[in-house]
Structure 1
Amino acid sequence: MTAVLDTPAGIPADAGTVASVLAERALQARRLVVDMAASERGCHLGGSLSVLDILIAALHRASAGDGTEVVLSKGHAAAGLYAALYVSGRLPENPAPLYGRAGQPYTGHPGPKVPGVLFPTGSLGHGVPYAAGWALARRIGGRGGLGIAVAGDGELQEGLVWETCQVAAARELGNFVLVVDRNGGQNDGFVADISPLPDLPGRFAAFGFEVAEVDGHDPAALSDLFAADRSAARRPLAVVAHTVKGKGVPAVEGRANSHYVTIDATRAAKWKRAIR
């Protein structure tokens, strides 16, 4: 397993070293996700691969120990979360051989029996208010730390997301960060063909958010965003992270039908060799 970084996010460290370690973690995590796709039940492969770099950078931010929590609202990407938790040193065991097995906590949607998972998610939209509620509780209690929600772009079709955005802006939750894994796909095809999201940054700005756009596969850029001091911020932050569904596995990159995949061990080995 990759060594855990000694220096928490937000404390001076060599930025190149941090980015390099996070990138290496992401490579290892992608191989684990492919292993989970080769389980008896398969997994939500495309979205797990697209969100990995975001999760790994966010978990590194949470390692600062200031009360920051990361909530994967797109809970169907649980395989990606388990892999990210493991390579980040948050899980004591490799989840890949245990994924989907009876009696194990590594189910198709994450729950709090898994170390590092604060809230159960799976029904789309619910993780966003969980994270906002966490941020609000920290703010009321006079404590630091962020509530980071990681959502999918298809998930933005849920009204609960926008209701939460309205409340977060009204309560001036500058310590709430909503990251959108903008991979362009959802269960039934491409988001643009089902319920388009034109000018997504403008939508968040209209709700009173600060907005940032970033390459969702750039660990340095993601780390910089998460490490920024938000203790005095009065507007929540929306991060539109542009990603590729199935990132890292050439056979499925950018394909809507990579949403849920079950493969055999031979194909898994081939895909893992091709991961970049």
Structure 2
Amino acid sequence: MSAATESLAAPVAEAAPGRSAVRAEALADLADRAVRARRLVVDMAASPRGCHLGGSLSVLDILIAGLHRAATGDGTEVVLSKGHAAAGLYAALYVSGVLPENPGPRYGLAGEPYTGHPGPKVPGVRFPTGSLGHGVPYAAGWALARRIGGRGGLGIAVAGDGELQEGLVWETCQVAAAQELGNFVLVVDRNGGQNDGLVADISPLPCLAERFAAFGFDTAEVDGHDLAALAELFAADRSTARRPLAVIADTVKGKGVRAVEGRANSHYVTIDAARAAQWKRAVR
């Protein structure tokens, strides 16, 4: 997989025959979804309550690629563990055809399901997340249940790099390795930021791939905005794998909106309609 750089850990399983290359038409469709999803997230930032804009934009490509795998119907479940990026999840679900309605006009309104943290009242959301670290064991549990039942599919957890400060993440990694959950995939949206500033200034994460390898994971490092590389990683057949997979996805906080890209103050944003229209025109 040329787009992903593997670590010194055990190699990532190869994609199944016929699935190793994502078709150009499919990639073009995924890229179009990503643009539409980013514009929708900007709309949600223009709601009265605003949204976690930076992290929603950084994680979007990961979610879209993961949902593309889940759409194969093989039992794959995508769990957004960094639940505060709910706006990104709702947008990804909508452009992927899982949500039948545009969540933007109802986002953040009292009595509506599109809240600041996702819950199972939203189609495509199986587990409630928001308390950081909890979505990782949900996804691992899903992978374990699929394996016990003799069924296929992945349990994909999407976590933030700041979220790795939660001990529950590493407890789950230990269990996943001990249970040889080769169908469990933990993707780290490494955008370098968290609520209080930069991860490097608060709780640095050097040698992250090596840490996961020490827990018994296969590892891969990838550009978290490279849809081809992400889709290829998710398409890999891990039915015979015995080591879980950690994907370290390097991303940009606020990706796609030049005015906020890489800026710590994009963590939570409320904007007016005029600013939203300006940003949406510039989304790429």
TM-score (norm 2): 0.93
Partner of 1:258: 266
Matched residue SS, 2:187: strand
Cα offset, 1:14, TM superposition: 5.7
Q: Confirm or deny: 8 A CA contact 2:195 2:267 kept in the other structure.
A: yes
Measure the CA separation in 2 of the matches of 1:20 and 1:263: 30
Q: Confirm or deny: 8 A CA contact 1:213 1:240 kept in the other structure.
A: yes
Cα offset, 1:15, TM superposition: 1.9
Supply the RMSD in Å over aligned alpha carbons.
1.2
- Partner amino acid, structure 1, of 2:34: A
Q: 6, 12, 27: which is aligned to 1:19?
A: 27
Partner of 1:6: none
Over 3 Å counting, the alpha-carbon distance change for 1:200 and 1:120 in structure 2 is: same
Q: 3, 28, 41: which is aligned to 1:33?
A: 41
Residues 177-216 of structure 1, C-alpha deviation per residue, up to 9 Å, x if partnerless?
0000000000000000000000110100000000000000
Partner of 1:168: 176
- Partner amino acid, structure 2, of 1:206: A
- Partner amino acid, structure 2, of 1:260: Y
Partner of 2:101: 93
Cα offset, 1:219, TM superposition: 0.5
Q: Confirm or deny: 8 A CA contact 1:10 1:227 kept in the other structure.
A: no
Measure the CA separation in 2 of the matches of 1:60 and 1:95: 19
Whether 1:210 aligns to 2:212 is: no
Measure the CA separation in 1 of the matches of 2:205 and 2:185: 19
Cα offset, 1:58, TM superposition: 0.0
Correspondence list, 1:148-163, <5 A? 148-163=156-171
Percent identity at matched positions? 85
Partner of 2:52: 44
Cα offset, 1:169, TM superposition: 0.2
Q: Confirm or deny: 8 A CA contact 1:10 1:228 kept in the other structure.
A: no
Whether 1:146 aligns to 2:139 is: no
Q: 47, 53, 67: which is aligned to 2:61?
A: 53
- Partner amino acid, structure 1, of 2:80: L
Q: What is the number of equivalent residue pairs in this alignment?
A: 268
Whether 1:240 aligns to 2:241 is: no
Matched residue SS, 1:117: coil
Structure 1, unaligned runs of 5 or more: 1-8
- Partner amino acid, structure 2, of 1:49: L
Measure the CA separation in 2 of the matches of 1:206 and 1:37: 39
Cα offset, 1:16, TM superposition: 1.5
Q: Confirm or deny: 8 A CA contact 1:10 1:64 kept in the other structure.
A: no
Partner of 1:5: none
- Partner amino acid, structure 1, of 2:132: L
Over 3 Å counting, the alpha-carbon distance change for 1:125 and 1:20 in structure 2 is: same
Q: 45, 50, 71: which is aligned to 2:79?
A: 71
Moved over 3 A (4+): 9-14
Whether 1:126 aligns to 2:138 is: no
Residues 68-109 of structure 1, C-alpha deviation per residue, up to 9 Å, x if partnerless?
100000000000000000000000100011100122100000
Matched residue SS, 1:70: strand
Measure the CA separation in 2 of the matches of 1:20 and 1:178: 25
Partner of 1:270: 278
Structure 2, unaligned runs of 5 or more: 1-15
TM-score (norm 1): 0.95
Measure the CA separation in 2 of the matches of 1:181 and 1:14: 22
- Partner amino acid, structure 2, of 1:73: S
Matched residue SS, 2:35: helix
Measure the CA separation in 2 of the matches of 1:15 and 1:226: 14
Over 3 Å counting, the alpha-carbon distance change for 1:209 and 1:19 in structure 2 is: same
Q: Confirm or deny: 8 A CA contact 2:22 2:228 kept in the other structure.
A: no
Cα offset, 1:11, TM superposition: 5.8
Partner of 2:206: 198
Measure the CA separation in 1 of the matches of 2:110 and 2:171: 37
Matched residue SS, 2:65: helix
Measure the CA separation in 2 of the matches of 1:10 and 1:147: 21
Cα offset, 1:20, TM superposition: 1.2
Measure the CA separation in 2 of the matches of 1:101 and 1:10: 46
